[in-house]
C-alpha cells in the first residue's frame, strides 16, 4: 500500500482559536493560579456529570492521592485495583502507606472482574478503585454492592471516562468520589489537570484543604481583595490545585465535548465495521448499560503470523503511531520487588496485554486519517494472515 507522508501520532489535543482567546484573557487578567476560571470550571464540570461538588486539581494522580489521603490508610491495609491500569492507580495506594492488591479483568472488556475483587478481599481490605477502562463504565451496581457488604470504600478512576454513562447517569455522578484526568492525550485536555467529583459536602471541604497544603478554606484567595493573610494549616496537605491557565483550556474543551464525543463515536463505528470480521483480529465487547467515551480504540492481535509487538512496528513503518494500554501494573519491576507480584497473578490481564494495541482515535483526526488506519490494518491482517 502507499505510505502516507506525515506521521499520524497516536494522540493529539483538539483545539481552535477559542482556547487561544480564553488563555490570552486569563494571562491578561494576571490571575494565573487558582482563581475565577478554576471556580467556573469546577461549577460547570459538576453540572456536566451531575455531581454536587467538583474540586479541580493538577492531575488524576493528584485526585486519587488526595481522596485516598482522607481515608486514613494504615500500613498493612489493602486496596484492590485492577491489574489493567496505569501505574498511577496503584502508586497512590503505596504513597498512602497501604498495599495495592491486583484484581484481574474481564477478557471481553478489560474492566475489573467483580469475581476477582471478591477473591482478593481479606480482613485487611479497605477499599476498591475500579477503573472505567478505555471509556466504558465498570458494572458499578455490582461493585458498590460488594463494597457495601464488606464495608469498603470505592474511589472511581475515571481517567478514560469523561462522557461515559452507566445506566443513564454520567460517570462522576454515580455517588462515589471520582477522579478524572485532563492529561493532554485524554478526552478533555488541559495539558496536565484533573478533577474530583463527589456528592459528599464534608469530603469536598476536606479535599479543598488537602489539595492546598492543608490550609483551611479559601486560602487560595488570600491575595485578593476580600481575602485575608491569616490561615491555619490543619493537615499535611499537598500542592495539587489547578491553575486558571489550565481551567481556561478546560472551559473551552468542555464546550466542545459533545462535538468531540460525536466524532469519536463516528470514528469508532467506522473502525468497528471495518475490523469486526477480520480474521486474526479481535475487538473489545461493548457493554449495553452505558455510553462508551471511546477514550481508547483497542485492537487485539489474536492470531496472525506476527505478534503484537511486530504489528506495532509494521504500523510505525506505515507512519501510524500507536500505544499499549497497559502493561499490567503487577508486572513492573518495583511491584515485583516490593509486593512480590509475578507473572501468572492476573492471567487475563497478561493475555490481553500480549494482544492489545490502541489505535489513533481522536477528534483531531480527519475521516481520511481514519480511512488510512483502516486500510493499513486490513493490509497487515491480510499480509500476515495464517
Ligand X SMILES: *Cc1c(COP(=O)(O)O)cnc(C)c1O
**Cα–Cα nearest to 67, from 268, 203, 254, 250:** 203
* Active-site residue identified among 34, 148, 169, 186: 186
- Phi, psi of 363, deg, nearest 5: -70, -10
Q: Is 164 exposed, middle or buried (0-12, 13-18, 19+ CB in 10 A)?
A: buried
Q: Choose between 171 and 380: whose C-beta lies nearer to ligand X.
A: 171
Please give the full DSSP string across 116-165, using - where no structure is assigned: HHHHH--TTEEEE--B-GGGPPP-HHHHHHHHHHHT-EE-EE-TT-TT-E
Q: Choose between 78 and 192: whose C-beta lies nearer to ligand X.
A: 192
Q: Choose between 65 and 219: whose C-beta lies nearer to ligand X.
A: 65
Residues that bind ligand X (CB under 6 A): 59-61, 85-86, 88-89, 131, 157, 159-160, 181, 183, 194
Q: Cα dihedral sign for 333, 196, 17, 28?
A: negative
**Cα–Cα nearest to 242, from 303, 310, 188:** 188
Least distance CB 382 / ligand X (angstroms): 32
C-alpha span between 269 and 271 (Å, rounded) = 5
Residue 351 annotated as catalytic:
no
Least distance CB 274 / ligand X (angstroms): 26
Least distance CB 319 / ligand X (angstroms): 25
C-alpha span between 260 and 362 (Å, rounded) = 8
Least distance CB 110 / ligand X (angstroms): 11
Q: Choose between 68 and 219: whose C-beta lies nearer to ligand X.
A: 68
Q: Choose between 208 and 325: whose C-beta lies nearer to ligand X.
A: 325
Least distance CB 385 / ligand X (angstroms): 32
C-alpha span between 379 and 113 (Å, rounded) = 34
C-alpha span between 82 and 89 (Å, rounded) = 9
| Locus of grid cell 493573610 | 229
| Locus of grid cell 470505592 | 154
Which residues are identified as catalytic? 186
Amino acid at each position: 500500500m502507499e505510505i502516507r507522508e506525515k506521521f499520524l501520532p497516536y494522540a493529539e489535543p483538539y483545539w481552535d482559536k477559542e482556547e487561544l482567546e480564553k488563555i490570552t484573557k486569563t494571562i491578561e487578567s494576571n490571575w494565573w493560579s487558582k482563581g475565577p476560571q478554576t471556580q467556573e470550571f469546577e461549577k460547570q464540570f459538576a453540572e456536566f456529570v451531575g455531581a454536587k461538588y467538583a474540586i479541580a486539581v493538577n492531575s488524576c494522580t493528584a485526585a486519587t492521592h488526595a481522596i485516598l489521603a482522607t481515608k486514613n490508610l494504615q500500613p498493612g491495609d489493602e486496596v484492590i485495583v485492577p491489574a489493567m491500569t496505569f501505574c498511577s492507580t496503584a502508586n497512590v495506594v503505596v504513597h498512602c502507606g497501604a498495599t495495592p492488591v491486583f484484581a484481574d479483568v474481564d477478557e471481553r472488556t478489560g474492566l475489573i472482574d467483580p469475581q476477582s475483587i471478591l477473591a482478593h478481599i481479606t480482613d485487611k481490605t479497605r477499599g476498591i478503585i475500579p477503573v472505567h477502562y478505555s471509556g466504558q463504565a465498570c458494572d458499578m451496581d455490582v461493585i458498590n454492592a460488594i463494597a457495601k457488604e464488606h464495608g469498603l470504600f470505592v474511589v472511581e478512576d475515571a481517567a478514560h471516562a469523561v462522557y461515559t454513562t452507566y445506566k443513564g447517569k454520567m460517570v462522576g455522578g454515580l455517588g462515589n468520589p471520582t477522579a478524572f484526568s485532563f492529561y493532554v492525550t485524554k478526552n478533555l485536555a488541559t495539558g496536565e489537570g484533573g478533577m474530583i467529583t463527589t456528592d459528599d459536602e464534608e469530603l469536598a471541604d476536606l479535599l479543598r484543604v488537602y489539595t492546598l497544603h492543608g490550609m483551611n478554606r479559601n486560602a487560595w484567595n488570600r491575595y485578593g481583595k476580600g481575602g485575608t493573610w491569616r490561615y491555619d494549616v490543619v493537615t499535611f496537605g499537598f500542592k495539587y490545585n489547578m491553575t486558571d491557565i489550565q481551567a481556561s483550556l478546560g472551559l473551552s474543551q468542555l464546550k466542545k465535548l459533545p462535538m468531540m464525543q460525536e466524532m469519536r463515536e463516528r470514528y469508532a463505528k467506522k473502525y468497528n465495521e471495518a475490523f469486526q470480521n477480520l480474521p486474526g483480529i479481535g475487538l473489545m465487547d461493548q457493554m449495553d448499560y452505558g455510553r462508551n467515551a471511546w477514550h481508547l480504540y483497542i485492537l487485539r492481535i489474536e492470531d496472525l503470523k506476527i505478534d503484537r509487538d511486530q504489528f506495532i512496528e509494521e504500523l510505525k513503518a506505515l507512519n501510524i503511531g500507536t500505544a499499549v494500554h497497559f502493561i499490567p501494573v503487577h508486572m513492573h519491576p518495583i511491584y515485583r520487588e516490593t509486593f512480590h507480584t509475578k507473572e501468572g497473578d492476573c492471567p487475563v490481564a497478561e493475555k490481553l496485554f500480549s494482544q492489545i494495541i490502541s489505535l489513533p482515535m481522536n477528534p483531531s483526526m480527519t475521516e481520511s486519517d481514519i480511512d488510512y488506519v483502516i486500510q493499513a490494518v486490513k493490509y497487515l491482517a491480510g499480509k500476515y494472515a495464517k
